[in-house]
Amino acid sequence: MAWNRIQAARLLSTKEMALFESSLSDQAPQMADKELQATIRRTRNERDKYQDLLRRQRVSTRERSGTKSGRSGVANARTDQKVQVFSEALGRLEKQQAQRERHSEKPAASKPGRKTTVRSAVRLAVESKARSRTSDKPQASRSSKAPSDGPRSAAASKAATQSPATTPHAKRAQAMGQQRPLAHVSSRGRQQQAKRDSK
């Protein structure tokens, strides 16, 4: 059973009625956080107070009437109703507090996501800038000048491939060696011819 203002006003005192009304949907959202916490604390105290009172009344009624439940009596019924009223009021106030806590947690949970997005964007920008700097740097060109020993190398390789007998120096020496026997033969022939002529 949900208690309304009219029903609660017939049961509660003026001070208790103020607590009950503060738990309603048209007032609870308007309270500040500290005020809401204080109202929850007072409402819980009222509920606990009437729960203890109802317990004592039932014990007294059982002893007096001999009933097991101890629920008989007008006083016990009013106390039981007050327990119900403040239990409902406390439930509404605690629900309002839970809603505020959920709303406060959502922005806190979303902040790391935004920070991560910003960090990722910054990191990508830095990496892109580093790559552009690397591509703009002139690459170290290798020296296109080859050692100026091309002709020397060609002459050396040609000399290495020629045999000792085919080199120009060897050819000249060989020709001079062949001319010496021919000169010797020709001079001997001239001497023999001179002897024959003298006879």
Mean pLDDT within 95-124 = 73
Does the pLDDT of residue 141 top 50, yes or no?
A: no
Helix axes of 33-65 and 14-22: crossing angle, nearest 10 degrees: 130
Angstrom distance (rounded) from CA 132 to CA 197: 107
Q: Where are the domains of the chain?
A: 5-132
Could you tell me if 9 and 66 are in contact, meaning their C-beta atoms sit under 8 angstroms apart?
no
**Predicted local confidence at residue 143, as pLDDT:** 47
Does pLDDT of 194 surpass 90?
no
Confidence category of residue 21, pLDDT binned at 50, 70, 90: very high
Contact status, residue 28 vs residue 93, Cβ threshold 8 Å: yes
The reported pLDDT for the residue numbered 172 is 66
* DSSP conformation class of 141: P
- Report CA-CA distances (Å) from 77 to 70, 87, 182: 10, 15, 163
Please report which confidence band the pLDDT of residue 167 belongs to, taking 50, 70 and 90 as the band edges. Answer: low
**Is the pTM here over 0.95, yes or no?**
no
CA 198 to CA 15: how far, in whole Å? 181
Side chain identity at 17, as an amino acid letter? M
d(CA 121, CA 104): 27
Helices (DSSP H) in the chain: which residue ranges?
5-11, 14-22, 33-65, 74-136, 150-161, 168-198
- Contact between 1 and 84 (Cβ < 8 Å): yes
